[in-house]
Structure 1
Amino acid sequence: MQKKLKKRVYLDYGILVPYLVLSVLGIIMVYSASSTALSSKGLNPADSAIKQALFFILGIIAIITIYKLKTKVFKKPAMIYFLVWVMVLLLVLTKFTPLGVRGGGADGWIKFAGITLQPVEFIKIILIWYLAYIFSMKQELIGSDFRKAMKKPVFYVALLIFGVLIQPDTGGAVILILITMTMVFASGINYYYTILGLGAGVLGSAVLIEFINLTGAHLFPKRFQYVYQRFRTFSNPFVDSLGDGHQMVNSYYAMSNGGWFGRGIGNSIQKKGFLSAAQTDFMFSIILEELGLIVGLIILGLLIFLILRIFIVGIRSKDAFNSMMCIGIAGLLLIQTFINIGGITGIIPLTGVTFPFLSQGGSSLITLSIGIGLALNISAEERKLKYEEAVEAFYLAQQELKEETEKTLEEDD
């Protein structure tokens, strides 16, 4: 008789361990990057690190809670649509009510009962969740009539992206667009649309960048002026090293200071007032300065391993919802990593996107923890299914062997 194993037996340590290592390292680096600035203001130097640690604990609680649930719970349409509309409501409250908190040129935060949240971070995982459900329910229609399959989802996706864009949070909107593209390409559409979409995306981005450079800032609404300034300085920030290029220039200095082995943890020069967003947008620059290029590459390697592990779980999944969910989560981590690294190295304009797990940000850490919890749950379900199939096959083989043995004995008699 088949023995029922507890769910913890199926725990995927290839996902859990990298998450824990990166998150704990993030707490240490948040302390290192923020302690000097906090001390200069007469505040507790460990204040930011303590907050990050508390959010990490909340993230662990979220993972445990999600892991204990059955995956069918996450496929209930009423709950999914409820969460989508909650996100829309949060965007409205953030933009049009006194609850909204402005920062970095955008009304991107909402403060309620002493707690500050960034709705766009939660929208990322809700969008993945919603699209995973929609695409898993419309597998046959996607292959035959993709435009009809996308008729209803387009409204909700556009609503969320537009709500983020008017904050205005262009970095968040770009991530949501890229997540949507990733999910669409993985949904089973004709490869022709995939090639066409990728080509249009690359060409459109190149044309947009050149158009912005040629036309200047006067075509931009006042609230989007900061976008033009970032485009203007990203290719050569040294032309305005004391103005709009200040952050980029000091990011370069930080990475250069670190060399191969770093200056040592806590010994960053650039965090001492030169990089105002040292513990958030430019956390990886500080890591390279203090820990060096070799450790930086190891950290990137660990993150890439985590992304690939989640992606492989999605590829191997026999359930469409599970597959789309894991591909979306892996895509989110990859997109956010590329945009952050690309921004601080000057490959693409700065967008204010944080580095996964390491940068300070409670909303981001909790959102990514929810994603990790979902990936762990899906991986456990797939492992359980594989184990049960193997056990069933074993018992069937035993039964067939027994029947053949009995038949042989009867013939011998």
Structure 2
Amino acid sequence: MARTAGDVNKRKIHSYYDYSLLFLILFLVCFGLVMIYSTSSYNAQRIYGNPTHFLEKQALFAGAGILIMIFVSKIDYRLYIKNLPIIRIKPITLLYFFCLLLQTLVLIIGPDVKGSRRWIDLGPLGRFQPSELTKIAVILFTAYIVYLAPKKLDKFLGFIRVVLFITPLLGLIVIENFSTALIIGVIMVAICFVASKKKAYFIISGLLFGALGSIFVFFVSYRSERIKVWLNVETEPKGYQILQGLYAIASGGIFGKGLGESMQKLGFIPESHNDMIFSVICEELGLFGAFALIVLYILLIWRIFIIAINATDLYGGLIATGVLAHLATQVLINIAVVTNTIPSTGIPLPFISYGGSSIMVLLFEMGIVLSVSNQIKGER
């Protein structure tokens, strides 16, 4: 039946809020807390005399992150690129230079942990990893640069222009943290690739970045050693953690040993609640649990993709694209490392691995994506 003009005028227009995405985020955070308790309770009891030591700390950061996510989701993301009233500077410009300052400070005053300077000691609050905050800065700043002149990306020089803006942040990170620099590079390239109508020059760019990355890998002793360990994980002493992780995956079978029943977490996998947590998930919940978790990540990425393609403007779409690239890359690298598909590197599993900086930054990013979804107008 044809609708009259009066019927059209009566239609209610409302702001769209992706509650499906919100539910997936909260479910993953809660699942992560359960797995952190399962994987860390033994070592927490042995070291600190409190089986919930790591759970309590992670729950505190997760709770704060959820509050930040909800608050950020109510802020119009376009405010990040508008001048502040008094100082007449854009928030993303302040964030960019703040991250530059933090990345410089971490190289000067950051504590040496296992041969690397990646954290700033905040005393009772623990350690903060500035490179996590830099991921947000790169997403927002790259999207803004592209948003100002998207047609320039149709030429290779336009892409180089974006690279020059991001290089200072990348250069400071790659000195101590190649894996995080790789993720940030992927975020930058993904945003540019989506916005560009010409794709051919990205092949040349990929080769150049690959060659540059190889220099940072093969000409740094401890990074090149990881490739040797990766190729000979059974015989190399430093392949112990990966080998124990593979044992955990193999022993889990189809449906696993049951939640809390892992043997490898009892000291065989060092700090099993961190980057290697996926192997314990496979052991306790089996391939079925691992597959279910991967499906949840796919659904989360799909929801972000839907928001990206329906965003009200290019800037919002590019922000969602950057967050999608960050999440997808981090999931792929973590699972690939745990299964020994690629050489070992320290990348946490999003929302699941223990780490305050990581989960708070991820939830901040999810808040920005929800803010983009909140601006999408639909018909009730």
- Normalized against structure 2, the TM-score is what? 0.90
Amino acid at match of 1:380: N
Amino acid at match of 1:229: E
Question: What is aligned with 1:284?
Answer: 278
CA distance in 2, matches of 1:104, 1:261: 36
Shift of 1:6: 7.0
Question: What is aligned with 2:150?
Answer: 139
Local SS of the residue matching 2:119: strand
Shift of 1:4: 7.3
Amino acid at match of 1:105: G
Do structure 1's residue 93 and structure 2's residue 105 form an aligned pair? Answer: yes
CA distance in 2, matches of 1:2, 1:146: 49
| Structure 2: stretches of 5+ with no match in the other structure | 1-8, 84-89
Do structure 1's residue 343 and structure 2's residue 355 form an aligned pair? Answer: no
**Is contact 2:31–2:352 with CA below 8 Å preserved after alignment?**
yes
**Is contact 2:156–2:201 with CA below 8 Å preserved after alignment?**
no
Compare 69-78 and 338-347 and name the one that shifted more. Answer: 69-78
Question: What is aligned with 1:50?
Answer: 56
Of 180, 194, 206, the residue aligned with 1:172 is 180
Shift of 1:302: 0.6
Question: What is aligned with 1:125?
Answer: 136
Local SS of the residue matching 1:114: helix
Local SS of the residue matching 2:62: helix
Taking structure 1 as reference, are residues 161 and 149 closer, same or farther at Cα in structure 2, changes over 3 Å only? Answer: closer
The structure in which a higher percent of residues are helix is: 1
Local SS of the residue matching 1:107: coil
| CA shift digits 1:113-137 (9 cap, x unpaired) | 4222111111112101110111111
Local SS of the residue matching 1:25: helix
Shift of 1:312: 2.2
**Is contact 1:15–1:310 with CA below 8 Å preserved after alignment?**
yes
Shift of 1:201: 5.6
Identity of aligned residues (%): 31
| CA shift digits 1:66-116 (9 cap, x unpaired) | 12112221223621111011111111221102xx12324311111124222
Shift of 1:350: 1.1
CA distance in 1, matches of 2:223, 2:77: 40
CA distance in 1, matches of 2:46, 2:232: 32
**Is contact 2:310–2:317 with CA below 8 Å preserved after alignment?**
yes
Instruction: Please say which structure displays the higher CA radius of gyration.
Output: 1
Question: What is aligned with 1:79?
Answer: 91
Superposed, which structure 2 residues align to 1:10-409 within 5 Å? Answer: 10-76=16-82, 78-97=90-109, 100-115=110-125, 116-143=127-154, 145-148=155-158, 150-151=160-161, 153-166=162-175, 168-198=176-206, 204=211, 208=214, 212=218, 219-220=219-220, 225-240=221-236, 243-382=237-376, 384=377, 386-387=378-379
Amino acid at match of 1:291: L
Taking structure 1 as reference, are residues 149 and 42 closer, same or farther at Cα in structure 2, changes over 3 Å only? Answer: closer
Amino acid at match of 1:192: A
Question: What is aligned with 1:407?
Answer: none
Taking structure 1 as reference, are residues 265 and 2 closer, same or farther at Cα in structure 2, changes over 3 Å only? Answer: same
Amino acid at match of 2:290: G
**Is contact 1:12–1:379 with CA below 8 Å preserved after alignment?**
yes
Q: Which has the higher contact order (CA 8 A, sep 6+)?
A: 2
Taking structure 1 as reference, are residues 113 and 5 closer, same or farther at Cα in structure 2, changes over 3 Å only? Answer: farther
Amino acid at match of 1:91: Q
Question: What is aligned with 1:402?
Answer: none
Shift of 1:200: 5.6
CA distance in 1, matches of 2:114, 2:254: 32
